[in-house]
Amino acid sequence: MDAYTIKEGKTIAIISYITWIGTLIAYFMNNEKRNAFASFHIRQAIGISLFSIANSIFLIRYIGLWATGFIGVGLFILLVIGLVGALQGETKKIPLFGDIFQDWFKGIA
C-alpha cells in the first residue's frame, strides 16, 4: 500500500475504532472513495464491535459477569492494538481474529 493511500484513509481508519457508531460513520465515509487502508481497518473494527456487542448482550447471560468482564478487557486490548496500527499507518491484523475478520467482511468495506 502506498503512502498516499495510507495518508488519505488514516482519518477514516481512526474513526472506525471509536465505538460501533464510529465504525458505522467510517463505513459510510469510505463508501464514496473506497480507500484500501480505511477498508482494512473498518473490517477489523466491525469484527471487534460485533464481538463486543455479543459479549455484552448474549455471553453475560450464559457465562457470567466475571468472564464477560475478562472478555471485554481482551476486546478492549484488541481495539487499542487496531487503533495504534491505524495511527501508525500500518495494516497489521489484530491477534487471533484479524485474518477471520478480513475474510468474513471482505465484501463489506
| Cα Rg, the chain, nearest whole Å | 14
Model pTM above 0.75: yes
Is residue 12 very low, low, confident or very high in pLDDT (cuts 50, 70, 90)?
Answer: very high
Domain limits, the chain:
3-104
pLDDT at 30 over 70: yes
Residue of 109 and 78 predicted with greater confidence: 78
Residue of 109 and 108 predicted with greater confidence: 108
| The pLDDT of residue 109 | 65
| The pLDDT of residue 65 | 82
Contacts (Cβ under 8 Å, ≥6 apart) of 82? 17, 41, 44, 45, 48, 94
> How many Å apart are CA 107 and CA 103, to the nearest integer?
9
| pLDDT tens digits, 38-80 | 999 999 999 999 999 998 888 878 888 888 889 999 999 999 9
Joined together, the cell numbers standing for residue 54 give: 455479543
Length of the chain: 109
State percent of the chain over pLDDT 90.
67
> How many Å apart are CA 28 and CA 91, to the nearest integer?
20
| The pLDDT of residue 90 | 92
Q: What is the DSSP letter of 64?
A: -
